């Protein structure tokens, strides 16, 4: 495709340059907003060119060249990986899943600020994060008037474009040109006390514009690329994820029978990963029709559901597709165009909307404790895995918040159900259902002592059940408080045992 058809604005076409030339325009020490959400729509060329520049500067013995990077969510090796590798990231927010970044964070070489994804733009607008100097944004095209056709994610791009002094655009011709028109960018947000209700009452509602407005005088460079998104392959559902999916589907059927869920369920939010994907496959194989999704990311399972008619509409902020998923999307985009809406993440994850629509939130957990507190982020209480992402946006505000995990990790050495979580992301008040391959714990309306029985008996692996029950019984009879019984000197001993002996 010619650059004229992707860059239809002559004034901005005149600012086309190489990625290396654009990277020269980025000074050290600044805050840079980059596009990108869950491996979709991140800049593919400028971060790599900047990393190369930093590598050379480092080799020549210059002072460290580091920038702070704010994105929508996780990106890819071409952004987080390359810049972390040259030690080019001072501070990173609001979410990452890159192994090199993770290592830098956990060895104290990089600061990381883990934020609810719906709240990031509010943080930026409120000035809590400091000044955004420059933004690097991938788009699918530039229109005649200089407005931008967003690519495979919207994320925080609207806010970054508004907040940054200078903008570098990457125009990626690999992104399907027919993405044009699928986005809904809402320009009605404001800081308190000037907020108005956000008028979405159904996931299919459109309230904004299909394009990002962009002041032309801010654009200092336009870089042309043609590169695919990260597109991580999914594993075929294994026995564990199939069992988890089965428990959730049985639960939905029961709730429908009891009249607590409509037969079209309620809008689904599904975290990324193999287990949520297996749940989506299970839903697709069942009797469901005309479901809706109000979620963060569209993954392979959702495309299949849209194609089969199980799902009528999906609202999200990004795609997160496997290579097969992206091929399916590209080949059948006309079928998907009217059924998918991509919004900025402060709307896709908005607490007001999750509560109003009554979202069914399904997210992964690292560990849960006897009383239903959830750790989604920290391995053994200190090491960051990915981040809270949107799980809190949906879990606290959804109608049903479901957390899923295998009952053990690391070949059975670790129990996902522990006496006390080593870090809390979702408190017992925000957690309604926990599911492992062992079964489902329905915590709604239960006291902490009732929850302990439900979680140990239904979710813990049989190898760990006796030790969990023993802890609970001894705590109950320890003479301490009986509302949430604990043996404080022992509560984290399972983690210490794993760290010292390699087995909980
Ligand atoms: N202790 C130590 N390691 C553990 C563990 C525990 N209790 N539980 C899981 N792990 C490890 C696994 O062994 C695995 O390690 P590996 O990558 O070396 O194999 C890794 O953590 C991922 O676990 P897995 O069971 O494959 O689950 P997942 O890929 O579904 O990820 C979360 C689970 C919690 C890490 C993931 O859901 C997450 O990051 N959640 C927070 C963000 C979020 O929920 N976003 C939702 C909106 S998209």
DSSP sequence for 16-82:
B--HHHHHTT--TT-EEEE--BTTBS--SSHHHHHHHHHHHHHHTTPPP--EEEE-SS---IIIIIH
What is the radius of gyration, based on Cα positions, of the chain? 23
Closest atom of ligand 1 to 404 CA is 30
Compute CA 273 distance to the chain's CA centroid, rounded to the nearest angstrom: 10
Per-residue pLDDT at 356: 98
Q: Which residues are catalytic?
A: 296
Which of 268, 318, 366 to mutate to test ligand 1, by most ligand atoms within 8 A of the CB atom? 366
Name the closest-CA residue to atom 24, ligand 1: 405
- Distance, CA 116 to ligand 1 centroid (Å)? 17
- Distance, CA 364 to ligand 1 centroid (Å)? 7
Burial class (CB in 10 A: 0-12, 13-18, 19+), 207: middle
Per-residue pLDDT at 442: 98
Q: Which residue has the tokens 């639960």?
A: 251
Closest atom of ligand 1 to 376 CA is 34
Which of 364, 365, 390 to mutate to test ligand 1, by most ligand atoms within 8 A of the CB atom? 364
Name the closest-CA residue to atom 6, ligand 1: 366
Closest atom of ligand 1 to 364 CA is 37
Half-sphere exposure of 142 (CA within 13 A, CB side): 30
SS3 label, residue 286: coil
- Distance, CA 339 to ligand 1 centroid (Å)? 30
- Distance, CA 188 to ligand 1 centroid (Å)? 36
Closest atom of ligand 1 to 366 CA is 8
CA pair distance 42, 448, nearest whole angstrom: 43
Residues in the chain, pLDDT under 70: 1-4
Beta bridge partners of 292: 313
Name the closest-CA residue to atom 36, ligand 1: 364
Query: Model pTM?
Result: 0.96
191 within 8 A of 126, measured Cβ to Cβ: yes
CA pair distance 36, 71, nearest whole angstrom: 6
- Distance, CA 53 to ligand 1 centroid (Å)? 34
Per-residue pLDDT at 126: 97
């Amino acid at each position: 495709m010619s650059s004229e058809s992707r860059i239809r604005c002559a004034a901005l076409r005149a600012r086309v340059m190489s990625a290396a030339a654009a990277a020269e325009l980025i000074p050290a020490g600044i805050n840079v907003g980059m596009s990108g959400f869950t491996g979709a729509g991140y800049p593919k060329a400028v971060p790599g060119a900047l990393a190369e520049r930093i590598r050379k500067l480092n080799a020549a013995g210059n002072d460290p060249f580091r920038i702070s990077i704010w994105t929508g969510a996780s990106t890819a090796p071409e952004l987080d990986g390359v810049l972390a590798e040259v030690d080019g990231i001072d501070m990173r927010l609001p979410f990452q899943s890159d192994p090199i970044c993770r290592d830098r964070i956990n060895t104290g070489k990089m600061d990381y600020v883990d934020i609810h994804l719906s709240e990031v733009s509010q943080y930026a607008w409120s000035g809590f994060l400091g000044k955004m100097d420059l933004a690097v944004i991938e788009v699918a095209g530039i229109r005649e008037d200089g407005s931008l056709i967003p690519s495979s994610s919207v994320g925080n791009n609207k806010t970054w474009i508004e907040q940054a002094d200078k903008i570098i655009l990457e125009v990626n011709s690999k992104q399907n040109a027919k993405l044009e028109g699928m986005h809904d960018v809402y320009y009605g947000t404001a800081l308190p006390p000037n907020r108005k209700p956000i008028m979405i009452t159904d996931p299919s509602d459109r309230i904004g514009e299909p394009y990002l407005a962009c002041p032309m005088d801010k654009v200092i460079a336009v870089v042309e690329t043609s590169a695919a998104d990260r597109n991580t392959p999914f594993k075929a559902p294994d026995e564990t994820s199939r069992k988890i999916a089965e428990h959730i589907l049985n639960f939905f059927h029961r709730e429908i029978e009891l009249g607590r869920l409509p037969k079209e369920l309620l809008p689904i939010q599904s975290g990324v990963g193999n287990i949520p994907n297996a749940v989506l496959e299970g839903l697709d194989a069942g009797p469901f029709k005309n479901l809706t999704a109000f979620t963060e990311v569209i993954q392979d399972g959702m495309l299949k559901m849209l194609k089969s008619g199980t799902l009528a509409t999906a609202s999200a902020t990004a795609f997160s597709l496997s290579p097969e998923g992206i091929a399916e999307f590209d080949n059948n985009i006309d079928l998907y165009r009217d059924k998918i809406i991509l919004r900025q993440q402060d709307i896709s994850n908005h607490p007001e909307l999750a509560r109003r629509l009554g979202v069914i939130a399904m997210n992964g957990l690292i560990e849960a404790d006897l009383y239903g507190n959830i750790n989604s982020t920290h391995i053994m209480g200190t090491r960051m895995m990915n981040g809270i992402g949107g799980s809190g946006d949906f879990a606290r505000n959804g109608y049903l918040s479901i957390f899923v995990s295998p009952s053990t990790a690391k070949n059975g050495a670790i129990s996902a159900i522990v006496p006390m979580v080593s870090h809390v992301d979702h408190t017992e008040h925000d957690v309604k259902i926990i599911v492992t391959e062992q079964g489902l714990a329905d915590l709604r309306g239960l006291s902490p002592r009732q929850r302990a029985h439900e979680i140990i008996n239904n979710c813990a692996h049989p190898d760990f059940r006796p030790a969990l029950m023993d802890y609970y019984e001894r705590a109950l009879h320890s003479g301490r408080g009986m509302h949430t019984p604990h043996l404080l000197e022992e509560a984290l001993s399972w983690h210490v045992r794993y760290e010292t002996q390699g087995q909980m």
